[in-house]
Amino acid sequence: MKEKTIRQSNYELMRIVSMFFIVFWHVLLHTSAVIKSAGLLKYVSLFLWLGLSVHTNTFMLVTGYFQYDKKFKLNKIFRVIGTTWFYNIILTCLGFFILHYEYSHYDLFQSFSFLNRNGYWYITGYVLLMFFSPILNKYIENSTQKEHKNMLIMLFIVFSIIPYLTKNTAIANDGRSVFHFIFLYLIGAYLAKYPIEKSYHFKKNSVSKNRLIYWTIFFSCTMISFLILQFGYLFENVYGSLIQGFYDTIQFTRDNFASPFTVIASIAFFLYFGTLDLKSKFINKISSLTLGVYLIHENRVMARYIYTDFISQVTANDTVLILFKFILYAIIIFIVSAIIEWIRQLLAKMLSKTKLVKALGNKWNNYVKNF
């Protein structure tokens, strides 16, 4: 019997790491570690916050990297929507009947809808992006490398630099819009179609040297963001209100995934994992659970339970050692959520083998093909 080939796991590992970054980032966010802390804890928390902020961007980069030459699959979108609704319904019922949370009609509407920015904004953007993907793929296929590169430069200026410097007054983009997702999708496609390791500046380098370059870029962008955020006010005395306005802009974009420094750091982070040569069934399996991890821990009910009812608020008197406690919280949240998603996948696989589900599945597949 022919042995089944194991697909590369480098980007699957990146998905796992990025999802852990998301969980840890949310722990810092909901415990107000960055905003309310003081002293060394404030500096370390802020630097971590900025470094972790590459998480969402990397998922979009890898989507463009693998999707740009693939056919549009409606079933894939419906699977994402179905999984999202499943967790929304189950966890909302959990909050209402067991945790006895109170809901307004608007809260219930938001809980059962994925098309809103206050809930699963990433899912909303991803679904919209997928419907745009056939048009984007056609452009990627027919454009030259120069045209593609010039398009990315223009989009970087329009959707990253201008919003960053104008506090979203000229063009609004906080990194949570479908426009930002399209921009990242096109970057991922460019990196796949024109591998950077074959370019003039990188092809002569060893893999180790390229890895060092990527990590240096990642660290440098994070450090620049940190220094501007923390010490930008010092320039006010020298350059006056103009610099102060610029500093206010940077403060405004602290958690903005469209920041030019965050975008560049995300690309470097993504490129680093592209240099790895890994094949692991275990990594691939854990990677398949990351969507569930996101949907569970960021659900409105679970977020309230985890961060309000379970994890106490950090205070200004806490030391930097509390970050290790936060890391432990993030690991526990990730593992528990992954186990729940693993169980859901097992149950779904068992149900898919029943005659009724098979019959319904065949009818659905025929409908989708005709559509």
Q: Give residue-wise pLDDT tens across range 269-327.
A: 999 999 999 999 999 999 999 999 999 998 888 888 887 767 765 554 566 778 888 89
Q: Domain for residue 78, yes or no?
A: yes
pLDDT for res 111 = 66
pLDDT for res 78 = 86
Q: Cα–Cα distance between 186 and 180 in angstroms, integer?
A: 10
Which residues 6+ apart lie within 8 Å of 79 measured at CB? none
Least confident piece of the model among 126-140, 247-261, 287-301: 247-261
Alpha-carbon separation of residue 345 from 112, 259, 283, 289, 291 (angstroms): 21, 36, 16, 9, 11
- Yes or no: say if 235 and 250 are a contact pair by the CB < 8 Å rule: no
- Yes or no: say if 183 and 257 are a contact pair by the CB < 8 Å rule: no
Q: Domain for residue 321, yes or no?
A: yes
**Total domain count for the chain?**
1
Tokens of 345: 């996948």
* Domain coverage including residue 97: 10-57+73-118+213-370
Q: Domain for residue 228, yes or no?
A: yes
- Yes or no: say if 301 and 91 are a contact pair by the CB < 8 Å rule: yes
Q: Domain for residue 150, yes or no?
A: no
Q: Domain for residue 245, yes or no?
A: yes
| Whether the predicted model's global pTM rises above the 0.85 cut | yes
Least confident piece of the model among 5-14, 45-54, 104-113, 125-134: 104-113
Residue 165 has pLDDT above 70, yes or no: yes
Q: Which of 298, 344, 279 is nearest to 83 (CA)?
A: 344
Phi-psi region of 39 (alpha: psi -120 to 50; beta: other; left: phi over 0): left
Q: Domain for residue 163, yes or no?
A: no
pLDDT band per the 50, 70, 90 thresholds, residue 171: confident
The burial of 163, by beta-carbon neighbours within 10 Å (0-12 exposed, 13-18 middle, 19 or more buried), is given as buried
Q: Domain for residue 62, yes or no?
A: no
SS3 content of the chain, % helix, strand, coil (to 5): 75, 0, 25
Q: Give residue-wise pLDDT tens across range 335-355.
A: 999 999 999 999 988 887 776
Q: Domain for residue 114, yes or no?
A: yes
